[in-house]
């Protein structure tokens, strides 16, 4: 923990599921953490309280990932509070599933705005800070669906695939200042987003024979931030062998 004391991270969508696990894992490792949440203040306060038990500074900010001004404000508040930002984890995401012929313009736009544009807004804001520091790590949470697609999720798949190309471009732009950019593509993880999915059907396609846990993703995030200084522009599949 002492090794990372004083370092700071920003996590979007940190009040539940994978985001919550990432916030708590980083806090346990000694990082000061700022995280955003969309609407559930009670859940955010719980995460904030739990993270503070590790003796670090924690900042919970209500912010819509799809709003450029709010994304900018999140990064600015974190930088003002901590004096530096060593890692950005773009985890905030939504799904509004429907078949293409039934998908509304609104559902298309909302998913792309939150999942893809949100990562653009925060990455643009944090890049200036990291370039000046000559260090930093940006990690964008994509999905296996962004790699192989899925019927009924054209908007979600497009947003998650877009994150991959976006991140590879960031890696090329920021690498000269020792700033890394990578993608983590989770498989099927035990969260509220997979509660309604028939588990037996999924397990048939997962060589490890189980769904992942949010902590599986959080530990990969921590590795990339703390030990991945020579890893950039990569897509790390954390999916139990689902994608080869």
Helix (H) or strand (E) holding 28: helix 17-28
Asked if residues 163 and 210 have their Cβ atoms less than 8 Å apart, the reply is no
Measured between alpha carbons, how far apart are the two ends of the chain, in Å? Answer: 34
Rounded distance between C-alpha atoms, residue 143 and residue 94, angstroms: 12
| C-alpha span between 71 and 36 (Å, rounded) | 9
Q: How many CA atoms lie within 13 A of 91 on its CB side?
A: 28
Q: By CB neighbour count within 10 A (0-12 exposed, 13-18 middle, 19+ buried), where does 219 fall?
A: middle
75 alpha carbon, distance to own chain's centre: 14
Give the active site residue among 37, 121, 156, 230: 156
Return the CA Rg of the chain. 17
Place of tokens 């920021």: 174
Nearest to 185 by CA among 124, 235, 241: 235
- In the annotation, is 121 catalytic? no
Classify the phi-psi angles of 135: left when phi > 0, otherwise alpha if psi is within -120 to 50, otherwise beta. Answer: beta
Contact 236/182 with Cβ under 8 angstroms? Answer: yes
Q: What span, in angstroms and rounded, lies between the C-alpha atoms of 130 and 218?
A: 22
Annotated catalytic sites, by residue?
Answer: 156
């Amino acid at each position: 923990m002492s090794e990372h004391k004083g370092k700071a991270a920003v996590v979007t969508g940190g009040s539940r599921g994978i985001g919550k696990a990432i916030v708590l894992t980083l806090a346990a490792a000694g990082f000061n953490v700022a995280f955003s949440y969309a609407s559930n203040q009670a859940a955010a306060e719980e995460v904030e309280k739990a993270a503070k038990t590790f003796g670090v500074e924690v900042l919970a900010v209500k912010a819509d990932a799809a709003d450029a001004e709010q994304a900018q404000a999140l990064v600015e508040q974190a930088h003002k509070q901590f004096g530096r930002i060593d890692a950005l984890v773009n985890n905030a995401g939504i799904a509004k599933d429907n078949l293409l012929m039934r998908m509304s313009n609104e559902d298309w736009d909302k998913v792309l705005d939150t999942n893809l544009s949100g990562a653009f807004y925060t990455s643009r804001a944090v890049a200036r800070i990291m370039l000046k520091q000559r260090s930093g790590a940006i990690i964008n949470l994509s999905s296996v669906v962004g790699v192989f697609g899925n019927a009924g999720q054209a908007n979600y798949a497009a947003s998650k695939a877009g994150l991959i190309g976006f991140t590879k471009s960031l890696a090329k732009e920021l690498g000269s200042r020792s700033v890394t950019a990578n993608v983590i593509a989770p498989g099927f993880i035990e969260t509220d987003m997979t509660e309604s999915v028939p588990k037996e059907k999924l397990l048939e396609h997962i060589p490890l024979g189980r769904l992942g846990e949010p902590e599986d993703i959080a530990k990969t995030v921590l590795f990339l931030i703390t030990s991945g200084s020579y890893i950039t522009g990569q897509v790390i599949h954390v999916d139990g062998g689902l994608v080869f």
